[in-house]
Amino acid sequence: MHVLIVDDEPSIRETFQIFLENEGYQVSTATDFFEAEPILRRSLFPRIEQMEEGPGQPVDIVVADIILPRVNGLALLERVREIDEDIPVVIITGEPDVKTAAEALRLGAYDYVTKPVTQQVLIQVVNRAADRRRLAMEKRRLEAENLAYQVHLEEMVAERTAELEQRNRELGTLVEIGQDISASLELNTVLERLTYRAAQVCGADQCSVFLIDQERGRIVPLMSQLRDVRKSESMWSLLKEPGYVVSIEDMPGAQRIIQERQPLYIPDVKTSSLPSYLVEPSGIKSLLIVPLISQDRVIGAMALGHTEPEHTFSPIQVNLAMAIATQAAIDIENARLFEQVHKQVAQLTVVSHVARQITSILDQDRLLPAITQAIQEGFDYYSVLLFLTDPAAGVLRLVGIAGGFKSLLPQGDTQSINVGLIGEAGKTGQSLLVNDVEQDPRYVPGVPGIPTRSELCVPLKLANRVIGVLDVQETQVDAFDETDVLALETLADQIAVAIENARLYENSLRHAEELALIHNVDVAITSILDLDEVLQIIYEQINAVMPLVSFYIGLYDEKRNILHVPITVENGQRMPPLEITLDESSGLSGWVIRTGQPLWVDDMEVEQDTLPVRSIDYGAPMRALMTLPLITKGRVIGVISAQSDRPHAFDEEHRQLFAGIATQVAIAVENARLYQDMAQRTRTLRLLADASAGMMGSLEPQEITDHLLTALSQRFVAANSISVFERGLSNNHANNYVNDYVIVSAEWSPGDQSVFLPVGTRVKLSRQPWMRQLFLTRQWVYVPDMEQSAWWNIATEDERQLVRERGITAVLSLPLISQEQVIGAVSIRLGTPLPEPIDELVDWAQTLVNQATSALVAARLYRQLETQKDTLAQAYRELQETNRLRTELVQNVGHELRTPLALIKGYAELVCHETLGPLNEAQRNAMEIVMARTATLEHLIYNLTMLQRVPREALAMEPICLNEILQRVCNEFRLRADRNDLRFRMDLSDDMPSIKGDQQRLELVFSHLLDNAVKFSPNGGTITIRGWWDEDHVYVSIQDQGVGIPSEHLDRIFERFYQVDGSASRQFSGMGVGLALVWEIVEAHSGSVDVESHPGAGSTFTVTFPRPR
């Protein structure tokens, strides 16, 4: 075969040339359209001698790149079709494009291949193209030979016309028959014309034609007709019975004509060795059997029969029969050959059509049925079956069926790879053609009623690996030949590729679905905290990509050894939740939880006896199983299981995906559990907070106990009664509470039940052992089983009956503790024991009870305070009246003293100034003392009057320079300081900011502070006046080295009329008004006064004013 490679890339041309030459092809190359055209033109004038290998051989196959310089590959394709439409053209592209591919196929491209092109793909494509080219060339050869034979025959007839004129009458009919039967190459038409014309010419009532298969020792009937052009119904019904054949051994006459190659005349069939079942239905009396000889080989026989007795054939009729048989043998062979070629062409056309049809489908579920349907319709086979191998199970699985067996075999049916013809083809990878299955020991009858006689099994191979078997069957023997084998093998290669492409496409979709599943599960886990909703989403996502019949997720409660199954789905129906106690008989799920190991079962029926434990039959029947533990932080928290009713339903990818999902489910379960715990904690904390707020916001004991009982009843859902007890009075001094009692102060019971203990009921602690223990230990007491408690032994029968009737099984009692004393208790009677562990729940209850205790104590205190309120109000009113009288007294005293004091001062000044007469030294000293005491008294009266005028609204506010005020005040006290040998140290900055204030009153503030500093400082001491500021305030401090102030008096020195030394014998005079006046004036200026003092170490007073904004 001569292959032309057209590509502008030298490396590709050289590589393709090496590949093809290694396979025995002659290869020519061209870079573009114009180099290729001269090589192609050789095919315009093919010669027989050019069929031999040589440089002038015509091109048989073209392999061309679609992208070429100047003129593209599609134009080259059109040119090839113009030169010789039977030359297959393979288009190669590096950029696959559906439109370009469709255009190439429309223009007649044989195949369309995408780069990169491997050696295997190139050889496969070129080999198929070569097969097609050979078939086309063979067809041409046969047509040429047939035409040549016709010409040759006519020439022989013309040459011998003169010689045969004497036999013209006899042979005219023979020629007419020859022309008649030779005018068609359709086998059935040839046989029909042959049988009725031979019967007419030879004077027979009936003519039948048989083919003789010497290799198999069989005679196959082809046609039987009467001379009036009617088919012999009796013979036809017999001979055309499906699968009907006659053994050569049953017909000695057939053996004779094969050996002698001469006509056989049987004058009386009854006395012959012919089988009676063959001659009696037709009524034949005598029979002439003439051999059909072609190429010195007996290929069949023509039987001419008479239905009338004693009727014979003349020598002329025998000679005519021989001549007709000779012509018929040639025509039958030509018709069979033409039919074979026609069948090959038709089959290759069908192959191409089917290949195009199946390669356009990527959905495997649609592809597999489409393959069988297209083959059955295209080849008109009785039945077409498609099996795919399942290596793990060692079986072939039926995946596609079309034709007569469709209603008899179920989709998905399997058969062993070691059984039958189909299994043989799947195991050996070789095609099997069996034209009579009854003669082949490997054939295993299938379903009763399947009329198989011929079977052709072709393996589907991919990279030398058998992936399936294509099986076609017919109801007649000899239904298949090598053309069927070639066509189906060609198609099988393309089917294998199509299935692989569909598998790859399905895998890509599956991977996409799995990624979407994992993403959706991730989204559900991270965005949804409701466990039930998360589990439902997980099931829906898994069910979308796996063949599930049953699915469940179980959550393991290790403390209770219970498997809680919140989601179970059977055949798409969600079942109610259930709980399973785990033990040795808990089945596969129990084993997975105990061991923490995954469990994979491909086929439960096969592996049942090898499982570590026996499975429990529950729900839908299963064959395949995946059960995995849910593990988080090294701890098994549950199990997830997926089941299918089909064996081997889950492959390795399913397992890997399921294992990944199991990890995600474990995370989701753990997150949901944490969320539920957090939500429960939040609810309980909110309940606690709401109840606490209600209790702490109330001062009514009844409201407090109502809040307490409501919260406890909501938190303890199993409670059927709750009592609040107050401790009664006790005469027990031993503190063993034997004779003590408690009183029911509040009681709660469900709405449909009466109270357990009425309010006011007294309960002796000696009758309640756990209550007495509570008072002794000041700790809560829990009785998990009333009937097993100490109380049950001392209880009366009525008390026991009441407990039974109310369904009380457990009791929790909590103390009300205030100031280390138990003042009461709360008892919660439960219908079911508390779930373990109880510590967190009891701590919550105790916290609530403690809050209630605090609220009740506060309510009691409030009631006590309420009782004292009137007394305090009266005392306050009396204090206000006292203060009013004191203020009025101060005002009156100040007013009454000011006038006589002014007179005293005036006369004293007259005396001192000697206006009334001269004074001696003693008199002058006395008057100076009077003047000093008068000034002191005047100052005291001024302070008293100023105390009544300090309010803020009475101030005359203006910008004040503190440095100036401090300088003036220091100057006023300098003479007095000099007398006491005191020194003023001024630490004032020149740029101290001004403040807003009342100058007169501020001078009074610093005068009082400086007066105290001078008064209390020892002789020779230093008084330090400092001033500083920051961003918001201005500060002035006056520090002395005086006697100091004891710490117990510091909090009161700014009170009115308060004196550190209030005794009559005190060392320093004063009324306790100065510092009070300082405080009130500074406070009226939005400032503050601070003092720091230690006895014997002096005092420092610091005045702070706000800086104006």
Q: 837 preceded by cis ω (within 30°)? A: yes
pLDDT of residue 1065: 43
pLDDT of residue 1034: 94
Is 921 domain-assigned?
no
Indicate if 624 and 576 belong to the same structural domain: yes
Residue 1027 pLDDT exceeds 90: yes
Indicate if 392 and 492 belong to the same structural domain: yes
* C-alpha to C-alpha distance for 185 and 127, rounded to whole angstroms: 30
Q: Answer yes or no: are the C-beta atoms of 628 and 593 closer than 8 Å.
A: no
Is 99 domain-assigned?
yes
The stretch 1022-1034 carries a mean pLDDT of 92
The stretch 169-179 carries a mean pLDDT of 64
The stretch 343-348 carries a mean pLDDT of 71
Residue 459 pLDDT exceeds 90: yes
> Which of 397-430 are b and which e, b meaning 16 or more Cβ less than 10 Å from the residue's Cβ?
bbbbbbbbbbeeeeeebebebeebbbbbbbbeee
pLDDT of residue 504: 81
Indicate if 856 and 723 belong to the same structural domain: yes
Q: Any idea what the CATH number is for the domain that residue 997 is in?
A: 3.30.565.10
Is 574 domain-assigned?
yes
pLDDT of residue 49: 41
Is 944 domain-assigned?
no
* C-alpha to C-alpha distance for 60 and 42, rounded to whole angstroms: 11
Order of strands across the sheet that contains 1099-1106:
983-987, 1022-1029, 1033-1039, 1099-1106, 1088-1093
pLDDT tens for each residue of 258-298: 778 888 888 887 777 777 766 676 778 888 888 988 888 88
Residue 1003 pLDDT level (bands cut at 50, 70, 90): confident
Residue 889 pLDDT exceeds 80: no
Is 916 domain-assigned?
no
Q: Answer yes or no: are the C-beta atoms of 507 and 423 closer than 8 Å.
A: no
Strand partners, 209: 223, 302
Nearest to 273, CA basis, from 296, 289, 294, 290:
289
Residue count of the chain, please give it: 1109
* C-alpha to C-alpha distance for 711 and 692, rounded to whole angstroms: 9
Provide the 8-state DSSP code for 981.
T
**Structural domain of 498:** 361-509
Q: Any idea what the CATH number is for the domain that residue 723 is in?
A: 3.30.450.40
**Quick check: helix, strand or coil at residue 762?**
strand
Residue 310 pLDDT exceeds 50: yes
* C-alpha to C-alpha distance for 924 and 162, rounded to whole angstroms: 204
Residue 830: φ, ψ to 5°: -115, 145
Kindly state the tokens that stand for 960.
Answer: 């004040």
pLDDT tens for each residue of 634-654: 889 999 999 998 888 888 888
Report the predicted TM-score, pTM, of the whole model to 2 decimal places. 0.39
For tokens 């009758």, what's the residue? 767
Residue 733 pLDDT level (bands cut at 50, 70, 90): very low
Kindly state the tokens that stand for 1023.
Answer: 């008084």
Indicate if 765 and 853 belong to the same structural domain: yes
**Quick check: helix, strand or coil at residue 984?**
strand
Kindly state the tokens that stand for 452.
Answer: 């198989």
- Residue 799's identity, in one-letter code, is E
Residue 55 pLDDT exceeds 60: no
Is 447 domain-assigned?
yes
The stretch 861-878 carries a mean pLDDT of 81
Counting the structural domains of the chain, the total is: 6
pLDDT tens for each residue of 68-122: 888 888 888 888 888 888 899 999 988 777 888 888 888 888 888 888 888 898 8
pLDDT of residue 937: 64
The stretch 353-362 carries a mean pLDDT of 71
Is 913 domain-assigned?
no
Indicate if 366 and 259 belong to the same structural domain: no
| Kind of pairing between the strands at 2-6 and 61-65 | parallel
The residue out of 97, 113, 148 marking a domain boundary is: 148
pLDDT of residue 320: 82
Residue 851 pLDDT exceeds 80: yes
Indicate if 274 and 209 belong to the same structural domain: yes
* C-alpha to C-alpha distance for 1077 and 1009, rounded to whole angstroms: 10
Least trusted range by pLDDT, from 240-244, 491-495, 675-679, 933-937: 240-244
Alpha-carbon torsion (431, 436, 438, 440), positive or negative: negative
**Quick check: helix, strand or coil at residue 222?**
strand
The stretch 619-634 carries a mean pLDDT of 85
The residue out of 449, 479, 509 marking a domain boundary is: 509
Nearest to 565, CA basis, from 574, 554, 557, 576:
554
Indicate if 704 and 631 belong to the same structural domain: no
Q: Answer yes or no: are the C-beta atoms of 1010 and 1038 closer than 8 Å.
A: yes
**Quick check: helix, strand or coil at residue 296?**
coil
pLDDT of residue 734: 46
Indicate if 436 and 549 belong to the same structural domain: no
pLDDT of residue 175: 67
Indicate if 46 and 112 belong to the same structural domain: yes
pLDDT of residue 626: 92
Residue 122: φ, ψ to 5°: -60, -45
Indicate if 997 and 1075 belong to the same structural domain: yes
For tokens 């303890």, what's the residue? 716
Nearest to 6, CA basis, from 79, 57, 56:
79
Give the CA angle between residues 833, 837, 843 to the nearest 5°: 95
Indicate if 460 and 595 belong to the same structural domain: no
* C-alpha to C-alpha distance for 175 and 165, rounded to whole angstroms: 13
Q: Any idea what the CATH number is for the domain that residue 97 is in?
A: 3.40.50.2300
Is 956 domain-assigned?
yes
Q: 758 preceded by cis ω (within 30°)? A: no
Residue 242 pLDDT level (bands cut at 50, 70, 90): very low
Residue 1064 pLDDT exceeds 70: no
CB contact set of 41 (below 8 Å; sequence gap of 6+): 83
The stretch 883-896 carries a mean pLDDT of 66
Q: What does the radius of gyration of the chain's CA atoms come to, in whole angstroms?
A: 62
Q: 750 preceded by cis ω (within 30°)? A: no
Residue 197 CA to its chain's centroid (Å): 79
Residue 390 pLDDT level (bands cut at 50, 70, 90): confident
Order of strands across the sheet that contains 781-783:
762-764, 741-748, 719-727, 821-830, 810-818, 781-783
Supply the mean pLDDT for the chain: 81
98 or 814, greater pLDDT = 814
**E strand spans, 506-560:** 550-557
Q: Answer yes or no: are the C-beta atoms of 516 and 533 closer than 8 Å.
A: no
The residue out of 509, 538, 562 marking a domain boundary is: 509
pLDDT of residue 597: 92
Indicate if 373 and 482 belong to the same structural domain: yes
